[in-house]
Amino acid sequence: MRVIAGSHKGRQLKAASKKVTRPTSDKIKESLFQQIGPYFEGGVCLDLYAGSGALGIEAISRGVDSAVLVDKNPHAIHTIKENMERLQLENQVEIYRLDAKRALHALHKKAQQFQLIFIDPPYDKADFSGVIENILMLDLLAENGLICCEYAISHQLPVTPESLTVMKQKKYGSTTGITIYTKKQ
């Protein structure tokens, strides 16, 4: 696993245990960032279910100012911290060891908003409806912000909430899909 582009291009990342996470492949990560960026001019990223932190790290490498990385698994948190130290990104990253719902409420209390939100839960524990509803209810998505969901094609994504529109949707092979939402103007 590596950083695909930007200031940290080519740097190797430690992967969290496959027993703990399901890492986004480099091919899917590269395609995703080509669709949403590929480069950014500042902003803050939220990576729920961060695993190794690879999506948040990629966003920072491509120009996002900072990232909030959330995972409830202690092994994943340890891997995230190792990757932050390896790339010297500790000052650009906030790490939460919480489940997604608690983390969203904690971020709401800080009145934080995000230009980019990744939702990439373990496929067997995916609750996209609940997470997206909480993000919208708690006003965590900035104007012109994006929500990027990675999911098993066999998993049904929720009906698109009224305040969002599907910007892009793509299938990768027979197992993985990506849907990118943006706020309606």
Per-residue pLDDT, 20 = 56
Per-residue pLDDT, 46 = 98
pLDDT digits (tens, 9 = 90+) for 164-177: 999 999 998 888 88
pLDDT digits (tens, 9 = 90+) for 10-37: 999 998 876 656 678 888 899 999 999 8
Per-residue pLDDT, 143 = 92
Per-residue pLDDT, 174 = 81
**Token pair listed for 85:** 């130290």
Q: Report all structural domains of the chain as residue ranges with CATH numbers, in order of start.
A: 26-183 (3.40.50.150)
CA distances from 41 to 30, 60, 89, 156, 169 (A): 18, 10, 17, 33, 24
Q: Among residues 148, 154, 146, 149, which one has the least CA distance to residue 173? A: 154
Residue 142 φ then ψ, to 5° = -70, 160
pLDDT tens per residue, the chain (185 residues)? 899 999 999 999 998 876 656 678 888 899 999 999 889 999 999 999 999 999 999 999 999 999 999 999 999 999 999 999 999 999 999 999 999 999 999 999 999 999 999 999 887 777 888 899 999 999 999 999 999 999 888 877 767 888 999 999 999 888 888 999 998 87
Q: What is the pTM of this model?
A: 0.94
Per-residue pLDDT, 22 = 67
- The rounded Cα 28 to chain-centroid distance in angstroms is 13
CA-angle at 41, arms to 35 and 92, nearest 5°: 105
Would the CA dihedral through 103, 109, 110, 115 be positive or negative? Answer: positive
Q: How many CB atoms lie within 10 A of CB 66?
A: 16
Residue 140: burial class (beta carbons within 10 Å; 0-12, 13-18, 19+) = buried
